[in-house]
Structure 1
Amino acid sequence: MSNKISPSPSGTLRAILERGEFVVAPGVFEMLGAKIADRMDFPALYMTGYGVSTSHLGQPDAGIAGFTDMQGRARTIAHGVSKPLIADADTGFGGLINIRHTVRGYEEAGVQAIQLEDQESPKKCGHTPNRRVVALPDAVRRIEVAVDSRRSRDFLIVARTDARTGLGLDEAIKRGKAFAKAGADIIFVESPESEDEFQRIGQELAGCGAWLIANMVPTGRSPEISAARLKELGFALAIWPGVLMQSACAAMENALAYLAANGTTAGSPVPSYDMKKLHELVGFEDVWAFEKRWAQ
């Protein structure tokens, strides 16, 4: 039997990164936004834990959503889109054996990259205060278990550190290097606080053997930097987890305010789909084709 590793399919996230294509991944958390994003010119999509927790449970991103909530939503999205899906898995939802279960569950669900954090449990959103991280050896062991648990090299491990806010950038970079040594495919230093910090991350983690990902959260702790500039700084991927949440909430609030004030949606300045376009987005054309062929 040959021990040669088969090449990655050309459409996998690994293959995209190995070709040197910069990945801009918008945050998705439900199927309408995921379907719209899937039709656009993005190499991959990112399932945001913040979005899943708030949309599915109506709760803040504070470790309340569990494995079943997140893996179930990841499965729905992964099977409903054509693009590779990167998915947030918080701290792995428990101890080391839970991390193994989470990695295998996300991989089985069709996710192509899983994001695991070094925060204490329950975790918090990376752009909120009072986050605490576990000791470095414990954080490294999480990544080692995740790498050992996956079944395919095309299932990528994203190792995130939240050490910058509480322990400083030096510690965050140290952890990034340790995570890469432990086998992580992608290193995620959360919430740098200036472009200079992003530049330093790119310089000091260059050559670590892993790709670098940046988290763009406008009005969060980090400045928003363009994809072109991030690529210059040494990053290979960037996520915009709030792009749909922020714009959708504003649009919903404005649409409802107009209806409440006017008793009608006629004349509303808020852009909206007509029913024909909505039917097409959600897949009614397939239903109608099925009924035409099979309905008596």
Structure 2
Amino acid sequence: MTSRHEQLRTLFANGFTTVGAYDPFTAKIAENHGYPATYIGSFSFELAGIAAPDMGLMTLTELATLVSRVSAVTTTPILCDVDTGFGGLNNIWRTVQVLEAAGASALQIEDQAFPKVCPILPGKSLVSIEEAAERISVASNARRDPNFMVIARSDADVVSVDELIRRSNRYLESGADAVLPMMLSYEGRPHTEADPAALRSAYIRLVKEIDGPVVALDTVPGMTSDEMLELGISFVLFPTAAIEAAFTAVEQLFASTQQTGRQETYFEQLGIIQDRMALMDAVGVNDFLSRAAGK
């Protein structure tokens, strides 16, 4: 039987897309929709798990608990974001071993200084390429199963595409199995303000000049995930869409209910029916009922 670690390596070899989950329920929904892996990112987890911004505030214990709970209810590989690794090199070593034991098949570690900040917030700074490479080397050597993957993220988009390429290749040489060169900034401007054709060309260059699998965070505006894969990207990730959608829906529901005194108004405006059974169907309620009946 193929392990989850092996499944993930096959996915990277063939190219794939997945979404971010922030709890076992969203992970289960993702699996139900055929997504071949589950991604647990710090942005979503810190918002949903501890009601805090993405600023490196989660703990290893909190993340490992979530990974274990997700692993228990899904069958697909789990990739998790560990920010800067929860401390020094010994902390990084322990992070790998704890998360691998909890059920993760890969972790993503970045080259920001501690405490990290979300790239859309001010105050981001990078460690030296030497320090970041040492993080990767320790993480790579800490894994028990050689199929467990280490993904190196570089936030050097604030410097240049050249620096992204330089750092990505150094991290691959240090033991990373894949790299995530962030592209939230391009030539000094947010990627949302950049020319999509220029961003597309930048990704083509990343794929060509980086000597290993490249992960893309979101897509170039106007492109689909399949089109990104056709450029040579190995893994297209939509890490925050689920929690963004949940936030929007709950904000609207609570505002509508407060205004009208009826929860039904929100659902009526959307033209949908409140279906609590659909929620339980998503987690396999009939299997639970059959077991309870001794069948």
Which bin holds the TM-score, normalised by the shorter protein?
Answer: 0.7 to 0.9
- Contact 1:8/1:15 (<8 A) preserved: no
Measure how far apart 1:185 and its partner are: 0.8
2:101 paired with 1:108: yes
Residue 169 of structure 1 corresponds to which residue in structure 2? 161
- Contact 1:29/1:47 (<8 A) preserved: yes
Deviates further, 35-44 or 131-140: 35-44
- Contact 1:213/1:237 (<8 A) preserved: yes
- Aligned partner of residue 152 in structure 2, secondary structure: strand
- Contact 2:216/2:237 (<8 A) preserved: yes
Unaligned runs of 5+ in 2: 187-193
Measure how far apart 1:108 and its partner are: 1.0
Structure with greater proportional helix content? 2
Determine what percentage of the aligned residue pairs are the same residue. 27
2:137 paired with 1:144: yes
Measure how far apart 1:246 and its partner are: 1.0
Cα distance between partner residues in 2 of 1:266 and 1:129: 40
Residue 181 of structure 2 corresponds to which residue in structure 1? 189
Cα distance between partner residues in 1 of 2:260 and 2:147: 53
- Aligned partner of residue 210 in structure 1, secondary structure: coil
The root-mean-square deviation of aligned C-alpha atoms, in Å, is 2.4
Change beyond 3 A, Cα 1:273–1:35: farther
TM-score normalised per structure 1:
0.87
Measure how far apart 1:209 and its partner are: 4.2
2:116 paired with 1:123: yes
Residue 44 of structure 1 corresponds to which residue in structure 2? 37
Cα distance between partner residues in 2 of 1:89 and 1:224: 30
Measure how far apart 1:153 and its partner are: 2.3
Q: Deviations over 1:107-161 (max 9, x none)?
A: 1111111000111011111333321111110000111111111112221110001
Residue 15 of structure 1 corresponds to which residue in structure 2? 10
Cα distance between partner residues in 1 of 2:156 and 2:204: 16
Change beyond 3 A, Cα 1:183–1:209: farther
Residue 277 of structure 2 corresponds to which residue in structure 1? 276
2:244 paired with 1:246: yes
Residue 228 of structure 2 corresponds to which residue in structure 1? 230
Change beyond 3 A, Cα 1:242–1:272: farther
Measure how far apart 1:82 and its partner are: 1.8
Measure how far apart 1:223 and its partner are: 4.1
Amino acid at match of 2:290: A
- Contact 1:173/1:201 (<8 A) preserved: no
Residue 172 of structure 2 corresponds to which residue in structure 1? 180
Cα distance between partner residues in 2 of 1:224 and 1:68: 39
- Contact 1:91/1:118 (<8 A) preserved: yes
Cα distance between partner residues in 1 of 2:151 and 2:211: 13
Cα distance between partner residues in 2 of 1:197 and 1:88: 24
Aligned residue pairs, count: 282
Cα distance between partner residues in 2 of 1:208 and 1:112: 23
Cα distance between partner residues in 2 of 1:28 and 1:272: 25
- Aligned partner of residue 262 in structure 2, secondary structure: coil
- Aligned partner of residue 62 in structure 2, secondary structure: helix
Amino acid at match of 2:226: A
Measure how far apart 1:7 and its partner are: 8.4
List aligned pairs for 1:202-221, cutoff 5 A: 202-206=204-208, 208-216=210-218
Residue 59 of structure 1 corresponds to which residue in structure 2? 52
Measure how far apart 1:198 and its partner are: 5.1
Q: Deviations over 1:219-254 (max 9, x none)?
A: xxx746421221232211011111111111111111
Measure how far apart 1:205 and its partner are: 4.7
2:92 paired with 1:99: yes
Residue 257 of structure 1 corresponds to which residue in structure 2? 255
Cα distance between partner residues in 1 of 2:5 and 2:206: 30
Q: Deviations over 1:3-59 (max 9, x none)?
A: xxx9877961102222x2x21110100122111111112222211111111111110
Amino acid at match of 1:183: G
Change beyond 3 A, Cα 1:136–1:10: closer
Cα distance between partner residues in 1 of 2:5 and 2:144: 19
Measure how far apart 1:79 and its partner are: 2.2
Cα distance between partner residues in 2 of 1:9 and 1:216: 24
